[in-house]
Amino acid sequence: MNKKLGCALILSCLIVIGVGCAQKPVSQSGSNEPAVQGGQAQAPNPSETEVDLGTMNIQVVDVYLADSQVLELEKTEQEIEYKDDSEKYEKTFAALQTNTNSELVSLWEQVELLSIHSAEGTVTLDVHIPAEANLGTSGELLALEALTTTMFQFDEVNSLDILVDGEAVDSLMGHAELEHPIHREP
């Protein structure tokens, strides 16, 4: 009986807080009054997914993780916040490193992202792969597939170039050939 009462009290508090926070949007000035432009209040566009934190964008991205046996990939969804395309790709890579499901394995979890750049449809990632992040041949192939499938979900990305410690190496982890760049399949 006490557990039910405690749960009901906590739920009531969360509802009150949620309702209180959702009453009025905060404008750029920090007040909860609507933004005024030319003497008229501007209503927010509900179809936009941008949050006004320096024009932050919020997007749900598909992230591919391996099953517990590291035999196949499974699609998961994660929400990312970003300001521009480079940050979008960086946050997507970070989501690829994050394991949100205990039954799945992130094949990029221990890989360190040194830098990421995008230009003319090509995203270039420079990574550092510590010894403990090395996978066998099938794991390496699956890791490359997870990365390319995750990054190629963005229509503007036509190719992906992966550098290891700043160099265009022949193989990511010593088992499978690495193309420079990897092109989106038609």
Question: Which tens digits make up the pLDDT trace of 149-165?
Answer: 999 999 999 999 999 99
Report the SS3 class of residue 146: helix
d(CA 186, CA 183): 9
Angle between helices 137-151 and 85-97 (to 10 degrees): 140
Query: Has this prediction a pTM greater than 0.85?
Result: no
* pLDDT, tens only, 53-71: 568 899 999 999 999 899 9
Q: Bridge-partner residues for 1, per DSSP?
A: none
| Beta-bridge mates of residue 51 | 56
